[in-house]
Structure formats: structure tokens, C-alpha cells
Amino acid sequence: MTMRGSRFVSHPADEQPVIEGHEGAEYYDLMTAATRELLIERGFLEQAEIDAVVAKLEAPRAEWGALIVARAWLDIAFKTRLLADGVAAAAELGFSIKEAQLVVVENTANLHNLIVCTLCSCYPRSLLGQPPWWYISKTYRARAVREPRQVLKELGLEIPPDVELRVHDSNADMRYLVLPMRPDGTDELDEAALAALVTRDAMIGAALAGRESRQALGGDASGS
């Protein structure tokens, strides 16, 4: 462990590589088991309370967000309400968002939005579940604000030069959802079929909605 004097680093450390990952997960598995036993023994928590939160962590999924997007594509009045107040609009469809506010940002022919949290990994988990691993990686957190076009290119999405790319750093109390553009040729599709075109990555801004984007960028961190 470093000493207190090195809590803060300034410019010279910029050149340090930013890495992610550790092979010691077994240690934390054991530590978590020990902590759990002690918290229960001492009456700070009950097992049922822990189980209830685990269930809440496991329930949300990107498909919930996709349903919101599909509804917004079909219902202009709903879209207007969604852009004005994401939490209230999600509640209309039965989704209870636990984060303070959901800011929904709309992609257009002239504007593409991309979400990142540079300080940690803020994400609308109560709606979409756990973020993909690349989203919580330090490389994405470091680069998405400074070279977003390059990062998107690496993730397989090229933003045309005449389109404005807007990065949202999810650094404080808001959480973000990208409303992707509805793909061409989908006039005949119903809400469920439209929702199937919306991937988790499209709602982060790392992909477009549509059949060609069904191959998500890596999997999620949920193991499902």
C-alpha cells in the first residue's frame, strides 16, 4: 500500500498505463464470505436482507430499456415526456428507477450521444442492470472523453465528420440513457420487434440500433 503522501497525483503520472483486472478474486470471495458472516452474527444485517438486494441486482436488464426506446419511437407524446423526465416516463411503463434522475438524450441525423463515467462507473443499473465490462474499464473511462471518435471506431462505430458527437460524463447525480435513432425500414414492426433491435450498447451510444448492431460489443458483466 502506498502511504498517505501519495494520495494525490498530478500531471507526471499521466503517462502511467491504466490497467484493469486482478487475478485475486478468490481472496475477495473469501473476504466477502467472512464479512457476511460477521455482519449477520452481530445483527447488522440478516441473510434475507442480503438476498433481497441480490435479487434486485439481478433483475434489471437491457431489455427493459429497449422497451422504453421502442415506445418512444412509436409514441411521440411519450417520447416528449421521456426527454423531459426519464424517471416519470419509465414509471408509466412500470419501471421503477432508483437513481435520482434519468436524463434521456436523443440521437438525430446531426447528433450522436455517448455516455461515460470517468470517475467510477455510474450507470442506470436499476433499469439496465450491470454495465458491460468495457464500460467499467479504466481504458474506456480514460479515453472516451478525450478521443471519443477513436474509441467508437475501435468499438466498430464510425461517426460521420459532419455529425456532432456529444459525450456525457455521468459524474454526479444524473444517470443517462441514449435514445438511438429508429432504423430505416422498420415501419411495419410492432413494439416488441422494435425493442429487439435495441441493444444495451446502443443505449450507451456505442452502437446504433438495428439488425446490424445485434452483435453487442463483448458481453455484459452479469454472466447471463
Report the C-alpha gap between 8 and 154 in whole angstroms. Answer: 31
Angstrom CA distances, 107 to 14, 59, 89, stand at 33, 27, 18
Instruction: Looking at residues 98 to 127 of the shown chain, list those that interact with another protein (rule: CB under 8 A).
Output: 100-101, 103, 116, 118-121
Instruction: Looking at residues 152 to 171 of the shown chain, list those that interact with another protein (rule: CB under 8 A).
Output: 154-155, 161-171
- Tell me which residues are annotated as active site: 117, 120-122
Minimal distance, residue 3 CB to another protein, in Å: 8
User: In one letter, which amino acid is 167?
Assistant: V
Helix (H) or strand (E) holding 71: helix 62-74
How far does CA 7 lie from the centroid of its chain? 28
User: In one letter, which amino acid is 79?
Assistant: K
Instruction: Looking at residues 48 to 67 of the shown chain, list those that interact with another protein (rule: CB under 8 A).
Output: 49-54, 56-58
Residues 116, 205 contacting (CB under 8 angstroms): no
Query: Between 20 and 75, whose beta carbon lies closer to another protein?
Result: 20
Report the C-alpha gap between 150 and 144 in whole angstroms. Answer: 8
Q: Pick from 59, 88, 91, 172: which binds another protein (CB under 8 A)?
A: 172
Q: Pick from 130, 180, 198, 204: which binds another protein (CB under 8 A)?
A: 130
Phi, psi of 16 (to 5 degrees): -65, 140
Minimal distance, residue 110 CB to another protein, in Å: 9
User: Applying CB under 8 A, does 83 fall inside the site for another protein?
Assistant: no
Q: Pick from 83, 145, 189, 196: which binds another protein (CB under 8 A)?
A: 145
# binding residues, another protein (CB under 8 A): 97
